Chains A and B, each alone.
Chain A
Amino acid sequence: MTFVPLVTMTQLNLILLLFSLLCNFSTGELEDYNRISQSLFHNGKNDTCTELLETFANTSASFTFCAIKYARPIRICEQCVQFFEDVSDAHEKILKMEDESGKCKEQLMNLDRLSVIESGFEYITGLWDSASCKYCFDDTNHTLSLSNQTSFFMDLLNTTKGCFEKYQIGDDVYNKSACTACETPYCDLNKFYDSIKSSHDSVCMDIVDSMNITRMFWNMKLHCKMDHPNLDVIYLSCSCTIAALPIFFYLGAKFFTNVIRIRLQFQTRLAEMLKPSTSAET
């Protein structure tokens, strides 16, 4: 029975020690938390960071709206470049700016597992990059302006489209004579597109898509398919000759070659030694 108080004494000490440790810890965390919640909820004094957040939200919303609006046919690069620049600016500011309660980056980012800002920004830049939009523009002093190449392409495109429209004879029906009349602008457009493609690693999606659409239009709507004679005599005779050669080769090999025979080694075994040696000895 005398043990009990002793034990409780040590336990008590331990608990006290633990408690004090915990308190130290939690006060530190609490301060942090207070600072953040103050800056978020009591935005009386200075609200630069929250303002920035709002700007970022608005600009990304406009970009997303624009991107989806110009999804078909794709004009994302050309139409949404302003919004993209705004989003980038807002994001950069969030990263760099600081107000009284500290850096905006620390107040807004990496605080929760949702990380809305980052994933939103990643979505936007991802879209921009996968459309290879930067190839549409010239980058002068960090402002994107439509490159000469792109505008020239668009001019050509408009000329071609204008030509097509001249021959529209009904709802989505076109006169076949467009094929000959519009061949020059169409071919120019094609040539210019091919030259862009060969000079760059990647082509801006706006251009690729408009080219593809124009080509499909030429093909499906105008039915300007060239007639191909499916019988090319030279090709046919060449391929038949070449395809027949192996048959002659193998037949020739079969009838004019002698098969090599290989000699077998005489294996010397104990059992082999028995029979001949007994017969030889006796």
Chain B
Amino acid sequence: MVSLQSRIDSQSEGLVDNEEETITTDPACLFKNDSLDSCGSSSSSCRRRAASIEWPPRKQPRTIETVEVGCLNVISGKYESLDYDIPDSDLLLDEERNSGPKYETKKNISRWVVFSLIGILTAGIGIILDVTIDQLSEIKYGTLKHYVDRCVEDNCLYIPYLMWVAFNVGFVLISSILVTYVEPVASGSGIPQVKCYLNGVKIPRVVRIKTLLVKVVGVIGSVVGGLAVGKEGPMIHSGAVVAAGISQGKSTSFGKDFNILNFFREDHEKRDFVSGGAAAGVAAAFGAPVGGVLFSLEEGTSFWNQSLTWRVFLSAMITTFTLHGILSMYYGYQGKLWYSGLLSFGKFPEVQYYWYELIIYMIMGLVGGLSGSLFNHVNYQLTIFRMRYINNKLWMKVIEAALVAAVTATVGFAMIFYINDCRPLGQDPTKFPIQVFCGDGQYNALGALWFQTPETSVRALFQDPPGSHKVISLSLFFILYYLLSIWTYGLSLSAGLFIPSLLTGAAWGRLTGMGLMWLFPDQAWVDVRKYALVGAAAQLGGVVRMTISLTVILIEATGNISFGLPLMLTLICAKWMGDFFNEGIYDIHIMLSGVPLLPWEPPPLSHDVYASEIMSHPVVVLRSVERVARIVQILSAETHNGFPVVDPGYEYQGDKVACGKLRGLILRHQLIVLLQNKIFNEVTDLWDSRNHEVALKLFRDEYPRYKHIQDISLSSKEMKCTIDLRPFMNSSPYTVIHSMTLPRVFRMFRAMGLRHLPVIDDSNQVVGMVTRKDLVRYRVNHHKGNIREELKISEKF
């Protein structure tokens, strides 16, 4: 057995060990039987530890296991937590001492300014999306209509069909190539990523400007490309990126540092801003400021306070009204900050409902839950297939997206071609009514549904007068669109899920309304539009399983507070019904990508799990005055990000469970910055020239992208130096005692937004470390009874 000390001596520089070897032969803190005896049997904590020794050790072979990709019970090792907890170091103390209350005021004012800016810029992105999609769709459908009208006479309908396919494939290819080759994290709706980020998981590259660009261009491509997608989810992601970007006063991608807002360069502040950005994104997408705030609260932010709510609300409000102001100008209503034409789903007329209708709404909610969970299940199976057979070749992802685009056009055209649902033109309800095989003075109702963006179709289903569609055409539309939206979600392009769900829901909701009209003719309360809205809510609720925020978003997007109770009842029923079968679609995708997301509550019935079982053991510790060579060796060999700091006199060859008395906690990136700037004890003149404030600035300047240990070169002389970690470390980290139970550890970890939680014994000696993945391992599986399962953790790949 090679002891650590001797290894450092033998290999002084550039130690990169094989990890497997490290694991098996690196007993930093070896456990020996006699430590039990030395502990004595008098203290209760030791008895408990003794109990944990008797606890049957799990049979886990030492050989490295492998699993196929696409398992729900594996957490990916590549995800780390955010450093939400601000380290309580001497440097920070000094900064506060020197700056005083003036600094604090400046920081507060800047915070408000930044939140307002987030609102304005997010609205700007919303406008760009709206206007571009509007213009491009107009060109696309205008051209198609022209050719359809001409070709019906000349019998050349294959021309507009092939043009439609070409349009779709072309636009979708732009989106898909960008997302696949430039920035894969911009794929999908973005809500899962934002949700993880707000939960405290660092998703690599999720809030970069490059991601924003790819997202915006990508979503334009996929919406104009005629897929069953919406722009709402990407808008939320865009808001989040905007927030993270402008709060930092610099752009690492462009290598530009404006030297402002330095004090916001830490995960804590950044995440607060991102929650504002997500809310602004919802506000821009649906014109729903309150819904945006509630979305931030419900979907993401696990650590939240009232003053943050107020600021988040400000940015959401500013977004809504900036957007409305500018879009009013675009649509020719100068100077108006609000007009009802801008409501996302159109102004609903005064809806009346009676108590007995609530029962129908609840039944519709249950149906929505059923169809939503079916959606999730099929999409889940499809996603697994994609992960296993398609995702490992990038070009296949692109081809798949193009195929979906082509088939979408084919389905749409076939429906127009084969179903002659002719309606009198009347007042020309749609922008591009096409006649196809209808007689003069009529238009094809299905053509009207397909020849516009899905968002406009939702609005049409909500608003069109009764009798605008035939039952057969609407049912077929519902089935095919439902299948298409299942197929589309999870493709490698940026596209949201809200609108397709709403559209399928509105279709079957309208069908329900038509059925009721047939059952109860001449009843004033049967209004297909009302049922379209309820169906849309039920379907969306069944798919995404959002509750309060979705209710409020729908209320705000239809400008209709009086319909609040029916919407809420529908959504409750949809969620309950859906949760009976599986998780929400976002959670399924989060689980499949193995993100360690902390749920709202600790797993139930878990008081029998102690911190000593949860924690990782042994712990790699550093002494408060540590040799550079050892730091470099540890940083190269270990993947950990936080290291407990123990007494300087601690000997590593200890044969105890405990690894020395805890003095503080230091993070990997802090060590990197220290090494990079060579702040060594021996180079005293260098150290003296920097006061503490400068040192704190060093850390902030590097944020958020720190160098890798391999990129730091140190001479052999420097390797022999030492670093005093005490001024930099978090000198009072949150700790738990090893006998603490899982729910307590969980609550503390979640409420504080921690990343590392050292476990100590009764004499303040470090025995282990709890991180996010250690906690997330314990998950309850509702769908197979209340069985607690332990997840596996994959290597970083």
Interface residues of A (CB under 8 A from B): 190, 208, 211-216, 218-220, 224-226, 228-229, 232, 234-235, 238-239, 242-243, 245-246, 249-250, 253-254, 257-278, 281
Contacts and interface: CB of A to CB of B under 8 A. Distances in A.
Given A216-B424, A239-B413, A270-B31, 18 more contacts: A208-B427, A214-B441, A215-B441, A218-B440, A228-B152, A234-B158, A239-B414, A242-B410, A250-B389, A264-B792, A265-B793, A266-B23, A267-B792, A268-B23, A270-B613, A271-B52, A271-B58, A272-B58
Interface stretch (B184-192, B399-407, B583-591, B749-757): B399-407
14 contacts: A212-B425, A215-B439, A216-B439, A229-B155, A232-B155, A234-B158, A245-B407, A249-B399, A257-B396, A260-B388, A264-B792, A267-B616, A270-B31, A273-B617
Contact of B74 (A229, A254, A264, A281): A264
B436 to A, nearest CB: 9
Contact of A260 (B33, B69, B155): B69
Contacts of A215: 425, 439-442
Nearest to A273: B31
B437 to A, nearest CB: 5
Contact of B65 (A220, A238, A253, A264): A264
A244 to B, nearest CB: 10
B613 A220 contact: no
A32 to B, nearest CB: 37
A276 B59 CA distance: 11
A163 B420 CA distance: 30
B794 A235 contact: no
A266 B62 CA distance: 8
B795 A264 contact: yes
Contacts of B158: 232, 234-235, 238
B452 interface: no
Interface string B421-459: 000111110000000010111100000000000000000
Interface in B7-27: 20, 23, 27
Interface residues of B, number: 71
B65 A263 contact: yes
Nearest to B53: A274
Contact of A212 (B52, B441, B617, B657): B441
Interface string B55-69: 101101010111111
Closest 4 CB pairs of A and B: A215-B441, A219-B439, A215-B440, A235-B158
B23 A242 contact: no
A112 to B, nearest CB: 25
Contacts of B792: 264-265, 267
A101 to B, nearest CB: 38
B161 interface: yes
Contact of A262 (B58, B67, B404, B615): B67
A277 B410 contact: no
A225 B389 CA distance: 51
B86 interface: no
Interface string B377-398: 0000000010011101100100
Given A219-B441, A232-B158, A264 B793 contact: yes
B555 to A, nearest CB: 28
B426 A212 contact: yes
Contacts of A275: 57
A265 B794 contact: yes
B211 interface: no
B213 interface: no
B623 to A, nearest CB: 21
Contact of B794 (A229, A257, A264): A264
B427 A246 contact: no
A17 to B, nearest CB: 47
Given A235-B417, A271-B52, A257 B403 contact: no
B360 interface: no
Given A212-B425, A242-B410, A277 B20 contact: no
A253 B74 CA distance: 24
Nearest to A277: B31
B616 A269 contact: yes
B612 A270 contact: yes
B627 to A, nearest CB: 24
B32 interface: yes
B77 interface: yes
B363 to A, nearest CB: 35
Given A216-B441, A259-B389, A278 B617 contact: no
A262 B795 CA distance: 7
Given A212-B425, A277-B30, A278-B33, A265 B57 contact: no
A270 B52 contact: yes
Nearest to A267: B793
Given A219-B442, A270-B615, A257 B393 contact: yes
Contacts of A226: 152-153
B618 interface: yes
Given A270-B612, A276-B62, A242 B417 contact: no
Contacts of A278: 33
A228 B154 CA distance: 10
Nearest to B54: A274
B165 interface: yes
Contacts of B254: none
B392 A220 contact: no
B548 interface: no
Contact of B66 (A232, A239, A249, A261): A261
Nearest to A201: B332
A246 B792 CA distance: 34
Contacts of A213: 441
A245 B403 contact: yes
B351 interface: no
Contact of B69 (A208, A262, A265, A281): A262
Contacts of B410: 239, 242-243
A279 B328 CA distance: 77
B396 A245 contact: no
B188 to A, nearest CB: 20
B157 interface: yes
Nearest to A233: B158
Contacts of A216: 424, 439-442
A181 B657 CA distance: 103
Nearest to A249: B403
Contacts of B57: 271-272, 274-275
